[in-house]
Amino acid sequence: MVSLKAAWRIENLHRAWRWIRSNPDRAYKGYFRELYSAYATADDPLLKHLKGRLDRHIFEPSDSCKLFLPKPSGILRPYTLLNIEDQIVYQAMANVVAERLLPHVKGRYNKQVFGHQYAGSTSLWFYRKWSTGYKAFNAAAEAAFSAGYQWTASFDLTAFYDSIDHDVLRHVLREIGLDHDFCTELTRLLNRWTATRTQIYHHHGIPQGPLSSGLISEAVLKHFDERFKTRYDVRYLRYVDDIRLFAKSEDHLRHALVLLDHLSKDVGLFPQSGKIDIHRINDINKELKSVSVPVEPALTGPVPDQRAIKSRLAELAPRTTGYAVSDSTRFKFLLARAAPSLRILDRLWRVFDRAPHFYPQLSAYLQKFHVLPDLHADRLLVQIRDQNLYPVIRASLVTAADGRLSVARTKKLRSLLKPLWMPRTNAPELSASLWRALHRVDHLTDRQADYALLHAHSSWLRMSLHFGMPWLNVPKPRRDRLLNASMRGADADGAAAAAWLGALLDIDVQRPIRDIHPLAKIILRESGKLRRADSRVCGIRMAIKDMTGAEIDIKWRKLFGKGYAQAESKIVACKGYFTTNPTAWVNMLDVFNDVLLDALFRRDGTIGAPSLGNFGGITHNVKFKTKYPKTHAYAVLVHEKRLQSELSHAIVKTTKAPTTRIPFKWLKVGRAALSAAVSELLAAGY
């Protein structure tokens, strides 16, 4: 069985980081391009630092940033932006899954399975080229049709990524040889990454957007590939979660669909019944979503034929059908190669009015113009003003307008954007787009900018605002103050961004250095802004903060000395039980208290000799009780509660009553006592 150690090997973390940077999905990388550059300046020490926290079990995932993109149906598709370390950890685990999964699926590549094909550990890219797999998918479909399989149906799964149950995922991962700890840790992380801003955590789903998710989904889809066994003559082809069936008769096709329905119920997934269109094929080319079958004549020459592109776009979105696009894949492909044209832009506006999900194509095409004609600029301004249903569309249009309007229309844009600036409530992508545009038109006050930069409601947004700030126009005192404050924030991505910018802008790093985020310290040190800096993370401090909510700056390494690693492992394990098992939490906390009091007695020679394991001697120690009353009370409280725990004894020795489980409501009592004790130790100089 493969364990977590395989995922946390330094060479695997480096491989994960390499594949994240080579991700061919330009859209996802575009949200992090500057941050990737910042991380790359010190990637070796940063990855070693990450490995250290993973090995010590003190790595904690961050809440993700969710974008919601409109589908053709009008409902929303979640798109997940993970913090950079979360991306690396997720990819590192996906690497291990990929290696274990490959022997089970490689024989079906380009025969039955055509998407998310693992390229191998030595490849520059994580997946094989998607276009090669898609061409093979189309070729297999054509071959089936030519062989007489003229009946077809698609079997799509409803909200597939969002619906993957974590119990099912653990089951299929164990089937390919991954141990319990690996499977449990992966689903623990996914539980955090799939939640929205409400922080209502789910036990299903994988994040859409990150490179790793495609491979993780393949582990579940393997269930269909392996178990699709029917006595009927049916061809089975799968591209990601789109299963295409070909048969020589409708009856055979229906039997195959029933089998797939049973298989989907095995793993808690649901087919999209509205998309199961059983029909006889008349033209195989119309069945295939491909830009290469047949080849577009407008693109066959050395230079795209712009006149032919215009004509072809008109055919694909004709006025006679109300500008409905007949083949969206071809339409998008041709539009990406079209030069700026007012005729095409007018048609694209009409397509967008009918189908708002074409907003990325509209925004990208608008950005091909250096200056938009006033007629189209006015239309753009109206859309920005009135688009209040989909924040991502408004954000995209604001980006398209930024810097492309005449002087008169820029004034209108300026007055239009300021009322939209509501960083506390706006979707993060809209705030990021408004931030850049408002700075360009000089329409944010220093106070508004400072507040947003330091207090934005998502980690990704804070990072994005840092890279969108026109720092060269900011006076040095303010610039130094803001970047120093950001480097001391709890948010790793924001601190890393601030450190990289601070090094580029040669800010004066303020003291004390110990308050700077560890990742920021590493970047500053590698950039020459710090000669040396302790970037170690204290797991004890983190665990106590998570449990009590209080940031208490005790020098735990000095207090525990050589026993620090033992103490850290105990309190980190204790933190894991805090929200899941109060009974185990109390027992583990009592173990931590044992080593804590032993260290305290060794450091403070005025309260007696250390007596590890002799709790009775500590309980009745008058000097200890007098000098550290809150710590004494806390230790006694936890120890006596442990004696009532069913994990300790069968009966309570003092009352002879049966021991029981500790209720969750007691956590409030225990955490308050812990906070008081640690605060007392801080006041005593530790």
Q: Check whether residue 381 and residue 457 sit in a common domain.
A: yes
* Distance, CA of 286 to CA of 106 (rounded, Å): 30
CB neighbour list of residue 185: distance below 8 Å, 6 or more residues apart: 4, 93
Q: Check whether residue 11 and residue 150 sit in a common domain.
A: yes
* Distance, CA of 397 to CA of 367 (rounded, Å): 10
With respect to residue 533, please indicate whether it lies within any of the assigned structural domains: no
Residue 592 pLDDT:
92
**Whole-number Cα distances in Å, 60 to 85, 86, 118, 185, 334:** 10, 9, 28, 11, 44
Which residue, among 527, 550, 539, has the nearest Cα to 676 in the 3D structure?
550
Q: Check whether residue 274 and residue 395 sit in a common domain.
A: no
**In contact, 189 and 87? CB cutoff 8 Å:** no
Last residue of a domain, one of 232, 263, 287: 287
Instruction: Give the alpha-carbon dihedral of 651, 653, 657, 663, to 10 degrees.
Output: -70
Last residue of a domain, one of 227, 260, 287: 287
Q: Check whether residue 510 and residue 595 sit in a common domain.
A: no
pTM of the model: 0.91
Q: Check whether residue 616 and residue 674 sit in a common domain.
A: yes
**In contact, 63 and 199? CB cutoff 8 Å:** yes
Last residue of a domain, one of 287, 320, 339: 287
Q: Check whether residue 557 and residue 474 sit in a common domain.
A: no
Residue 404 in tokens: 């492309």
CB neighbour list of residue 25: distance below 8 Å, 6 or more residues apart: 211
Residue 280 pLDDT:
94
With respect to residue 292, please indicate whether it lies within any of the assigned structural domains: no
Give backbone dihedrals phi and psi of 141, rounded to 5 degrees, phi first.
-65, -45
Buried/exposed 476-495: b ≥16 CB within 10 Å, e otherwise:
eeebbebbbebbbbebbbbb
Angle formed by the axes of helices 84-105 and 43-55, to 10°? 70
With respect to residue 532, please indicate whether it lies within any of the assigned structural domains: no
Give backbone dihedrals phi and psi of 371, rounded to 5 degrees, phi first.
-135, 130
Q: Check whether residue 311 and residue 240 sit in a common domain.
A: no
* Distance, CA of 262 to CA of 53 (rounded, Å): 43
Q: Check whether residue 520 and residue 546 sit in a common domain.
A: no
**Whole-number Cα distances in Å, 138 to 110, 238, 298, 656:** 10, 11, 22, 74
* Distance, CA of 531 to CA of 523 (rounded, Å): 11
Residue 616 pLDDT:
67
Which residue, among 558, 584, 555, has the nearest Cα to 646 in the 3D structure?
584
With respect to residue 653, please indicate whether it lies within any of the assigned structural domains: yes
Q: Check whether residue 274 and residue 316 sit in a common domain.
A: no
N- to C-terminal Cα distance for the chain? 44
Give backbone dihedrals phi and psi of 12, rounded to 5 degrees, phi first.
-75, -35
- The alpha helices in 302-440, defined as continuous H runs, are 306-316, 328-336, 342-354, 359-366, 374-386, 391-401, 407-417, 428-440
Please tell me what DSSP assigns to residue 204: B
* Distance, CA of 82 to CA of 68 (rounded, Å): 14
* Distance, CA of 410 to CA of 420 (rounded, Å): 16
Residue 335 in tokens: 């539009």
In the chain, count H helices and then E strands: 34, 6
- The alpha helices in 194-305, defined as continuous H runs, are 212-227, 250-266, 284-287
With respect to residue 171, please indicate whether it lies within any of the assigned structural domains: yes
Q: Check whether residue 475 and residue 393 sit in a common domain.
A: yes
**In contact, 81 and 460? CB cutoff 8 Å:** yes
SS (H, E, C) 80-112: EECCHHHHHHHHHHHHHHHHHHHHHHHHHECCC
Q: Check whether residue 117 and residue 259 sit in a common domain.
A: yes
The number of domains in the chain is 3
Q: Check whether residue 264 and residue 155 sit in a common domain.
A: yes
CB neighbour list of residue 613: distance below 8 Å, 6 or more residues apart: 594
Q: Tell me the DSSP string of 556-573.
A: HHHHHGGGHHHHHHHHHH
**In contact, 678 and 544? CB cutoff 8 Å:** yes
Instruction: Give the alpha-carbon dihedral of 450, 411, 382, 432, to 10 degrees.
Output: -20
**In contact, 555 and 617? CB cutoff 8 Å:** no
Domain that holds residue 603: 539-684
Residue 290 pLDDT:
63
With respect to residue 534, please indicate whether it lies within any of the assigned structural domains: no
**Grouped pLDDT means (10 residues each) for the chain, 686 residues:** 92 97 94 95 94 93 94 92 98 97 96 96 95 92 94 92 96 96 96 86 92 97 95 94 94 95 95 88 82 69 88 94 92 93 96 95 96 95 94 97 94 94 93 95 93 92 96 95 95 95 93 92 92 85 90 89 91 88 92 91 84 72 89 91 88 85 92 93 90
With respect to residue 455, please indicate whether it lies within any of the assigned structural domains: yes
